Homo-oligomer: A and B are copies of this chain.
Amino acid sequence: MDNRPIGVLDSGMGGLTAVRELLKLLPHEDIVYFGDTGRVPYGTRSAEIVTHYALQDINFLLGRQVKMVIAACGTVTTTLPASLTTRFDFPYTGVLFPTVEAALAATRTGRIGVIATATTIRTGAYERELKKLDPSVAVVSAACPLFVPLVENGFVERDNEVTRLVARQYLSEIRAAGVDTLILGCTHYPVIAPLIGDVMGENVRLIDSGKAAADYAKTLLAEENLLADRRTAGRCSYFVSDAPEDFARNASIFLGERFDGRVDRIEITSYPDTI
């Protein structure tokens, strides 16, 4: 038993879709969330800069005494090298492995689509990990760089004409490839999952990377006997690196419920980038 909080980091607000799932799965856990809103987006930056930022983010969370770290950010997950993350002396998960496992469990035809930011797609990490675990699968990937700004600007309704038009363009190749499973490899995308589902058709199973990471975290904590030992609801603390008001205003888009948490701003650049 371990009553310390679970740490969740993201480049901005997308990781809140993982928090939403954690709240459902593990309601007794405290959560410390850090959204690097002062340096968002990570998805367009070089691997070197993303690594530097991510290590600062993790050091901030460790300073808040978290018992595990979830990188609820596709870009961080696929950019931090395993040579680094396997040396961490605390439980850590990105979204990649849990999501790939969920996709392989879901597919029947072995044809899997992956959508994510340009940086994530460029790394080829999802495709590589899928084929490592099951060399027989066929993978089709597409970068969807406009989905993040569309979500952040509230173009999120299921019938939004602009987002639908963009989705049809971005998803056309993946649709043509006849996949039966689609990985939403960016934590912003679950917000427009109903729209993406409409474009893909009802026979395609969508895999939410935030949900997959939350499922995986629950299993991991249970196995290591690190689940919280309390009957009351856990508390969430939110930290950001730019204006807290902007975060509080938009958080409900991602959490799927009214946001009334406290948000504090921290100076993330003052944290070390070595672990």
Spell out A's residues near B (CB within 8 Å): 38-40, 44-46, 49, 145-146, 148-150, 153, 155, 161-162, 165-166, 169, 242-243, 246, 269
Q: Which residues of B contact A243 (CB under 8 A)?
A: 45-46
Q: How far is the CB of A153 from chain B (nearest CB, A)?
A: 5
Taking the closest CB of chain B, its distance from the CB of A144, in whole angstroms, is 10
Which of B40, B45, B162 has a CB less than 8 Å from the CB of A166?
B162
In the complex, which residues of chain B have a beta carbon less than 8 angstroms from the beta carbon of A165? 161-162, 165
**Chain B minimum-CB-distance residue to A145:** B153
Count of chain copies = 2
A119 to chain B, nearest CB (A): 10
Minimal Cβ-Cβ distance residue in B for A269: B269
Query: What's the Cα separation between A38 and B52 when bound, in Å?
Result: 12
Among B39, B146, B161, B242, contact of A153 (Cβ-Cβ < 8 Å): B146
Sorted from nearest, which 4 A-B pairs have the closest CB atoms? A149-B149, A46-B243, A145-B153, A162-B165
Task: Find chain B residues with CB under 8 A from A46 CB.
Answer: 242-243, 246
Assembly CA distance A162 to B46 (angstroms): 28
B45 touches A242 (CB 8 A): yes
Subset of 10 A-B contacts with CB under 8 Å: A44-B242, A46-B242, A49-B242, A145-B149, A145-B153, A146-B149, A146-B155, A148-B149, A149-B149, A162-B165
Which one, B49, B145, B162, contacts A169 given CB within 8 A? B162
For A12, give the chain B residue with the smallest CB separation: B44
Give the chain B neighbours of A149 by CB distance below 8 A. Answer: 145-146, 148-149
Q: Which residues of B contact A145 (CB under 8 A)?
A: 149, 153
**B residues near A45, Cβ cutoff 8 Å:** 38, 242-243
